Amino acid sequence: MLVVKDVSKQYGDFTAIESINLEFSTGLYGLLAPNGAGKTTLIKMLATLISPTKGEILYNGKNISDMDDRYRELLGYLPQHFGYYKNYSPKQYLLYLAALKGMGKKEALHIIEELLEKVALSDVINKKMKKFSGGMIQRVGIAQALLNNPKILILDEPTAGLDPKERARFRHMLTDLARERLVIISTHIVSDIESIANEIIMIKNKRLLYKDSVENICSSLNGNVFETTIAYDQLEDFRLKHSLLSEKQEYGNMRVRFIHKGEAERNWTVVPPQLEDVFLYEYRDEIEGEV
C-alpha cells in the first residue's frame, strides 16, 4: 500500500502541489489533469526522483526515501521522455539496462524475451529501434520499466504521440499489467484512462480535486449536462451564458452540449455526464484556447 500524506512541493517560491493526500492499492489509477497542473511533479515524487517539500510518501508504513534502493527495487518507471539508443535493438538495450541493474546475462535474456513478447515486440527483438514507430518505442519503454517485475509501475504520459490504434493496444496492456500490481498513469487525455482506470485522480489549483471511480466523478454533474439545437447566429450569445462543452454543425444548425445549474429550458435534453464533461468543466479556465 502506497500512501501520499499531506504532500506539498515547492520550486523556490512557486508551489506546484499543495497538501495532497492519496492512497493506492493494486489496480490502475489515472492521474488526469491539463498540462502544467503538477502531474509530473507528483509522479517524480512517487518515483523518488524529487522529494516533497512537506509531508511524506509511505510504502507499507515506511517512508520511501528512507527505503532508498529497497523501494526502487519495487518500482518500474517510464518517464515522459525516456532515453534510448536508436542504433540498439530492444534486446541489446534491455540487456544493457539489466546489466546496470546487476542482473546476470542468462537470467536477463530469459526475462527480456518474455517481456518483449508481453509488449508484442517479439518479431523485432533484434531490429534497430531507429525504424520503430512511436507506439513501438513506448512499448520498449514499458518493457524496460517491467525489467525488475515491479510491484509499482508508474508511467508519465505514456500515450503521447501514439495513434488511436496504438492507444487501444496500450489500454489492453495496462489493464493486464494492473491485475497484479499498482499501476499509476498520468495523462491529459480522458479517453486514455476513462475505460480502464479503477480510480481517477484529478488535481486542480495544486490540490486534489477528485480521487474516485469514473462513475462517482461523473455523478457530480448529474442533471447538469444538457444538449440542444440552436441557430448558428445564437451560438455566440449561448457561449456567453453557458459553459459550453462541445458544439457541432447539424443540418445548418448547431448541436451544443453544455453545463447548466438551475432551471432548464423546455427544448433542452438532459444527458448522462461523461468524464470528458467533468474534465472540460473543471479545467475550463486552464484549457481555454487549447481545445
Ligand X SMILES: Nc1ncnc2c1ncn2[C@@H]1O[C@H](COP(=O)(O)OP(=O)(O)OP(=O)(O)O)[C@@H](O)[C@H]1O
Residue 228 makes contact with ligand X by CB under 6 A: no
Other beta carbons within 10 Å of 73:
13
Least distance in Å: CB of 183 to ligand X?
Answer: 18
Output the CA torsion sign for 65, 70, 23, 172.
Answer: positive
Nearer to ligand X, 157 or 192 (CB): 157
Ranges within 3-22 binding ligand X (CB under 6 A): 11, 14, 16
Q: Indicate which single residue of 21, 23, 25, 35 sits in contact with ligand X (rule: CB under 6 A).
A: 35
Give dist(CA 158, CA 288) in Å, integer: 24
How far apart are CB 177 and ligand X at their closest, in Å? 22
Among positions 162-221, residues that touch ligand X (CB under 6 A) are none
Residue type, 73: E
Which grid coordinates are listed for 19?
497538501
Number of chain residues interacting with ligand X (CB under 6 A)? 12
Torsion sign over Cα 141, 128, 102, 179 = positive
* CB 234 to ligand X: min, Å: 36
Q: Which of 7, 20, 41, 45 binds ligand X (CB under 6 A)?
A: 41
Residues whose CB is less than 8 angstroms from the CB of residue 9 and which lie 6 or more positions away in sequence, other chains included: 15, 16, 17, 38, 41, 42, 45, 50, 52, 53
Options 30, 38, 76, 273; binder of ligand X; rule CB under 6 A: 38
Q: How many CA atoms lie within 13 Å of 89's alpha carbon, on the beta-carbon side?
A: 12
Closest separation in Å from C-beta 217 to ligand X: 18
The residue among 90 and 158 lying less far from ligand X, judged by its C-beta, is 158
Q: Using CB under 6 A, list all residues that contact ligand X.
A: 11, 14, 16, 33, 35-41, 157
